[in-house]
Amino acid sequence: MAGTQPQESAASIAARVESFVRTVVVPFEQDPRRDHHNAPTDVLLFELREMARAAGVLTPHIRADGSHLTQRETALVLIASGLSPLGPLACNTNAPDEGNMYLLGHVGSAEIKARFLDPLIKGRTRSAFFMTEPWAEGGAGADPSMMKTTCRRDGNHWRVDGRKCFITGVAGAGIGIIMAKEHQADGKGGACMFLVELPDPAIRIEHVPNTIDNSMPGGHATVLIDNLRIPADQMLGQAGEGFKYAQIRLAPARLSHCMRWLGACIRAQEIATDYACRREAFGKLLIDHEGVGFMLAENRIALKQCELIIDWCADVLDTGALGTAESSMAKVAVSEALMKVADNCVQVMGGTGVTDKTIVEQVFREIRAFRIYDGPTEVHKWSLAKAIKRDWKQAQQA
């Protein structure tokens, strides 16, 4: 059964997850079951999930009674699952499923939870979140207000039309959450969210590009939505509230990314350290050369800083605050710091660091993508700068 018992501490859950990832999942990192983009296939994913289920570490951030761990407790568990790129997939703590589970748990009706959330918690299917749109068509990216996908009420259904891109995991997913802007004559319609079962003939995958990252099954597809009819009771929450619900999902989802990739960089640091403590050059071990030793020392400092930032942001979210500004700060600080950590690990390992003999080069690629998804660094800084200006104006008026 998915979920952990109410009485077990988060530290104990995290320890079991870490043991499972290190002993069971890591050996599968060289498994050949990969798609054209070298991402794990669903066959591999669901095999790993059955192992996680048997080990009692499937969906470990949600207890058996349906309650979520706190954000700070979740951090312990997701960091542990991230020690391998396959770990979040195996333990069902991966994106976008983890964020989608969080959203449905907070906004979904009893009927939606039974139909769409329960299969996700049980790890029986994957999901996709349809928000980003092609830039060439002027669609929504970092600015969701530019959304072009429309929804129109049609009796007891809604009709959705549009095009989405960079939709992670949609190829092979069984559940979709679709964002669309309500069509109104005055152009003032708000955003709506809908739940759909996949695949659907009205949702066609046009293209799955090759991208720098490849840890997520299904890739990041461009999708055409053509005359998709959705029953009205499959709307998530209320019409016009879609952007509010997106923030409920995105703030903790940004932090979850930080947790998982911190785990990956901890592992990369371990691998680079082992290499530096074994490899000799110019008469001594690499670790004894300041140029190498100092990089690993900088990494240790950065990893601890990332841990503290995650804890701070988790505490804010646990108070019940939306935490948008805090999650933006955490996402920027952690993604930029981990990029340097991953780069240092590659550099320490030299030629070996850029090969697929270890996961270090994959972690480097994944962290580079992390600096963009869930909002590029520059967008978060811009948002924070606006808040600084607003705060200054308010101080002047006080």
Q: What is the DSSP string of 267-323?
A: HHHHHHHHHHTT-EETTEEGGGSHHHHHHHHHHHHHHHHHHHHHHHHHHHHHTT---
Peptide bond into 96 cis (omega under 30): yes
Mean pLDDT for the stretch of residues 96-116:
95
The interaxial angle of helices 242-276 and 71-81, nearest 10 deg, is: 50
Mean pLDDT for the stretch of residues 276-295:
97
CB 299 within 8 A of CB 339: no
Least confident of 99-103, 127-131, 188-192: 188-192
pLDDT at residue 233 above 50? yes
**What pLDDT is attached to residue 299?**
98
The conformation of residue 137, written as its DSSP 8-state character, comes to: G
pLDDT in tens, 74-100: 999 999 999 999 999 999 999 999 999
**What pLDDT is attached to residue 2?**
60
pLDDT at residue 155 above 80? yes
Residue 97: both structure tokens together? 């499923």
CB 28 within 8 A of CB 48: yes
- CATH 1.20.140.10 in the chain is located at 243-388
Whole-angstrom Cα distance, residue 270 to residue 287?
13
- CATH 2.40.110.10 in the chain is located at 128-238
**What pLDDT is attached to residue 133?**
95
**What pLDDT is attached to residue 1?**
45
Residue 251: both structure tokens together? 């703030």
Whole-angstrom Cα distance, residue 309 to residue 302?
10
Q: Which residues have a Cβ under 8 Å from the Cβ of 111 and sit 6 or more positions away?
A: 233
- For the residues of 22-67, what is the DSSP string, one character each? IIIIGGGGG-S-B-TTSPBPHHHHHHHHHHHHHHT-SSTTBBTTSP
Mean pLDDT for the stretch of residues 10-24:
98
Residue 88: both structure tokens together? 């979040």
**What pLDDT is attached to residue 141?**
82
**187: confidence class by pLDDT, cuts 50, 70, 90:** low
* Helix (H), strand (E) at residue 388: helix 377-397
Rounded to the nearest 10°, the torsion over CA 298, 302, 305, 310 is -170
More confident residue, 236 or 321: 236
Whole-angstrom Cα distance, residue 338 to residue 97?
23
CB 94 within 8 A of CB 216: yes
Mean pLDDT for the stretch of residues 273-297:
97
CATH code of the domain made up of 243-388:
1.20.140.10
**What pLDDT is attached to residue 5?**
66
CATH architecture classification, 128-238: Beta Barrel (2.40)
What amino acid occupies position 231? P
pLDDT at residue 167 above 90? yes
Whole-angstrom Cα distance, residue 213 to residue 332?
19
What CA–CA distances, in Å, run from 317 to 4, 16, 73, 222, 335? Answer: 22, 25, 12, 32, 19
> What is the chain's mean pLDDT, rounded?
94
Beta bridge partners of 150: 161, 181
More confident residue, 36 or 1: 36
Whole-angstrom Cα distance, residue 332 to residue 325?
11
**What pLDDT is attached to residue 185?**
67
Residue 140: both structure tokens together? 């929504």
Whole-angstrom Cα distance, residue 104 to residue 245?
10
pLDDT at residue 284 above 90? yes
**What pLDDT is attached to residue 387?**
93
